[in-house]
Amino acid sequence: MLRALIWDVDGTIAETERDGHRVAFNEAFKELGVPWRWDVPTYGYLLRVTGGYERLLFDMECRPQAPASASEREGMAQAVHRRKNERYAQMILSGAIKARPGVHRLMDECADAGITMAIATTTSRQNVEALLAQQVGPYWRDRFAAIVCSEDAPIKKPDPLAYRLALERLGVGAREALAVEDSPNGLAAAYALGIGTLITRSAYFRYEAFAGFAGICNDLDHPITWPIGTAPRTDVAVLRQVSEAWTHADTSYSREVLSDSTK
Ligand code: XBP
Ligand code: MG
């Protein structure tokens, strides 16, 4: 039975990757004299690496203009990432980035239906705070029984740690929860524990060939498809059907992954 809905943040609650973090990174590059920018396709490619700091280090590995020594690159990445987060918070607080369609509605419906909610994200507490306070309101924390951020789960998605902690803090089993995600890395993190994932495609993953999802849609107000059904939008009744179908799904692959990781 569905008891909890676990929300990813970036790309899922709002289009923060393309319109927020990427733009803020470019502003930080400019301010700190870093001689390159990330256009929309380049940032999409870099999203394979989770974590803004890690993403930056990964990109620098093949930038001839980047410092030669690892310690200099790390120093530069720390400074840029810090400034990026300041600019990101300012951008979010200005209200420039809104929640994606259906997010507020589904959160309200879950609260009314007694479905507990949590957050499992690879971004920082400060970035979550900025977005949720702006978009959900000053009492946003009251809506979530568990809030797992990069400080709690430093090993980032696709590692399942963030979801493992969310389940533990919620006190529910994998089959009693659904995840809402926008990216392959997020899906992999939830899938590794056997949690069913509802994919709400963000701009970067509109044409991604996802595999292993419990349900998929372009946004929560648009039609959703799951292995044994379709519906015009995602509401609590649909979440329950998706969860029920997932209960019967074959996730033997994830069990193999889990047993391998404990050897
Ligand atoms: C997505 C991420 C984050 C953001 C940037 O997180 O990978 O790294 O791109 O945030 P989510 P930071 O799990 O919410 O989709 O700069 O704080 O890493
Ligand atoms: Mg995401």
User: What's residue 262's pLDDT?
Assistant: 38
Residue nearest to ligand 1 atom 16, measured at CA = 52
User: What's residue 263's pLDDT?
Assistant: 40
The amino acid that residue 185 corresponds to is: N
Question: SS3 for 181?
Answer: strand
**Cβ of 200 below 6 Å from ligand 1:** no
- Work out the pLDDT band at 257, boundaries 50, 70, 90: low
User: What's residue 254's pLDDT?
Assistant: 54
Residue nearest to ligand 1 atom 17, measured at CA = 123
What would the pLDDT profile of 131-157 be if each residue is shown by its tens digit? 999 999 999 999 999 999 999 999 999
What would the pLDDT profile of 205-244 be if each residue is shown by its tens digit? 999 999 999 999 999 999 999 999 999 999 999 999 999 9
CA–centroid distance, 94 to ligand 2, in Å, is 21
Question: SS3 for 248?
Answer: coil
User: What's residue 248's pLDDT?
Assistant: 87
What would the pLDDT profile of 87-116 be if each residue is shown by its tens digit? 999 999 999 999 999 999 999 999 999 999
User: What's residue 199's pLDDT?
Assistant: 98
Beta strands across the sheet bearing 4-7 = 146-148, 116-120, 4-7, 177-181, 196-200, 215-217, 224-226, 229-231
How many C-alpha atoms does 156 have within 13 Å on its Cβ side?
19
Nearest to 101 by CA among 226, 15, 10, 159: 15
Q: Are 199 and 216 in contact (CB under 8 A)?
A: yes
**Cβ of 122 below 6 Å from ligand 1:** yes
CB 47: neighbour CB atoms within 10 A? 22
Query: What pTM value is reported for the model?
Result: 0.94
| Residue in 7, 10, 201 to alter for ligand 1 test, most ligand atoms within 8 A of Cβ | 10
Residue nearest to ligand 1 atom 7, measured at CA = 50
pLDDT at 40 over 80: yes
CA distance 162 to 185: 12
The catalytic site residues sit at 8, 10
Instruction: Report the mean per-residue pLDDT for the chain.
Output: 95
What would the pLDDT profile of 188-215 be if each residue is shown by its tens digit? 999 999 999 999 999 999 999 999 999 9
